[in-house]
């Protein structure tokens, strides 16, 4: 169990929560100093969350130990305060290094490749090496943090679900970030394979250097997976490579093989997506990408009954349910 910390101590450690690192859906994150160690203190905005539920969540997160998961150091549960203390990641979140080209130098391929492999290793641990399968359910660049050496670590487990080894899936209401959600969310029958799909989208963002939803592009190119679908059908995968980095072009063959791996992860049929351990093996040299792949990554035409919040509908689902901006 991580260390229980007093709210007063965390208030001092963060200089009264003065240095804000970021704002997420579930709260704000502040930089702090605790026993000569830089830390990130997350103040959760969860009105009404019971202490018992919070402590159970802390115990689950605290039991996870892997080099590619952000380490939980401590927590606070006083009165209505709910705070989590994590190791500090000096390079910040991955999205800044992909999207903000005016502020950050384009990453070389070996760095991008290492980040992709790190994410895959972290997900493989969650899915296959814990007592229960853990589906993260919100894999996106904003939830991938980088240390000083660009080692990538998965963060933000607020939406994660535990899946018993004997269960084929869990039923849960739609959650996650539009643009990164697998098509099976429309049936509410969820497995860890939703993370595999999200991982594929993140890989394409890393390789292309663009957002998965970019409304500055022509209407036909807004979604990166639709562009990938078109390029794959026409054998033009090279066009997906980020042109802001000459180094990416120098490693074109390896980059294209990784695009093919992402394509495998993006299969609309979850049973055709690889396990993350297979992805890791592929990234580490055991090339095994399935060749007979479906290029229509997300076939959303069948009518399904979907529950979103309290409402149900059985019309053919529209793509905006999964890809509308938040």
| Sequence-separated (6 or more) residues with CB below 8 Å from residue 15 | 32
Q: What is each CA distance from 240 to 100, 173, 218, 227, 283, in whole angstroms?
A: 18, 34, 15, 8, 19
Residue pair 106/246 in contact (Cβ under 8 Å)? The answer is no
Q: What is each CA distance from 181 to 24, 125, 139, 177, 185, in whole angstroms?
A: 18, 21, 9, 7, 7
Residue pair 212/319 in contact (Cβ under 8 Å)? The answer is no
| Sequence-separated (6 or more) residues with CB below 8 Å from residue 221 | 214, 227
16 is catalytic: no
**Taking the CB of residue 100, how many other CB atoms lie within 10 A of it?**
9
Strand partners, 85: 41, 74
Strand partners, 213: 223
Spatial separation of the C-alpha atoms in residues 239 and 229, rounded to whole Å: 12
Given the residues 35, 118, 138, 247, select the one marked as catalytic: 138
Strand partners, 31: 40
Spatial separation of the C-alpha atoms in residues 95 and 140, rounded to whole Å: 8
Answer yes or no: is 42 a known binding residue: yes
Q: Give catalytic residues, as residue numbers.
A: 138
Residue numbering of the annotated binding site: 42
Residue numbering of the annotated binding site for ATP: 42
């Amino acid at each position: 169990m991580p260390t229980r910390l007093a709210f007063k101590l965390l208030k001092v450690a963060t200089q009264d929560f003065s240095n804000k690192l970021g704002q997420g859906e579930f709260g704000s994150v502040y930089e702090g100093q605790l026993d000569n160690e830089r830390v990130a203190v997350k103040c959760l905005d969860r009105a009404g969350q019971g202490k018992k539920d919070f402590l159970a969540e802390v115990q689950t997160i605290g039991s996870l130990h892997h080099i590619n998961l952000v380490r939980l150091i401590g927590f606070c549960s006083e009165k209505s305060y709910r705070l989590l203390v994590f190791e500090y990641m000096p390079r910040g979140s991955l999205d800044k290094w992909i999207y903000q080209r005016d502020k950050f130098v384009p990453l070389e391929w070996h760095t991008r490749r290492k980040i992709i492999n790190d994410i895959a290793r972290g997900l493989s641990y969650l899915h296959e090496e814990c007592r229960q399968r853990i589906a993260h359910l919100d894999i996106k660049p904003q939830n991938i943090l980088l240390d000083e050496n660009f080692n990538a670590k998965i963060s933000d487990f607020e939406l994660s679900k535990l899946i018993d080894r004997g269960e084929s899936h869990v039923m849960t209401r739609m959650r996650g970030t539009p643009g990164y959600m697998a098509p099976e969310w429309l049936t509410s029958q969820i497995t860890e394979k939703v993370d595999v799909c999200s991982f594929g989208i993140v890989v394409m963002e890393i390789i292309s250097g663009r957002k998965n939803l970019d409304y500055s592009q022509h209407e036909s190119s807004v979604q990166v997976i639709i562009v990938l679908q078109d390029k794959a059908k026409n054998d033009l995968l090279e066009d997906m490579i980020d042109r802001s980095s000459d180094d990416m072009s120098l490693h074109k063959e390896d980059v294209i093989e990784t695009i093919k791996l992402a394509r495998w992860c993006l299969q609309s049929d979850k049973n055709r997506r690889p396990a993350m351990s297979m992805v890791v093996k592929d990234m580490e040299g055991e090339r095994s990408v399935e060749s007979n792949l479906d290029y229509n990554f997300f076939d959303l035409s069948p009518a399904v009954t979907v529950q979103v919040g309290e409402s149900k509908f059985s019309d053919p689902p529209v793509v905006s349910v999964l890809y509308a901006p938040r």
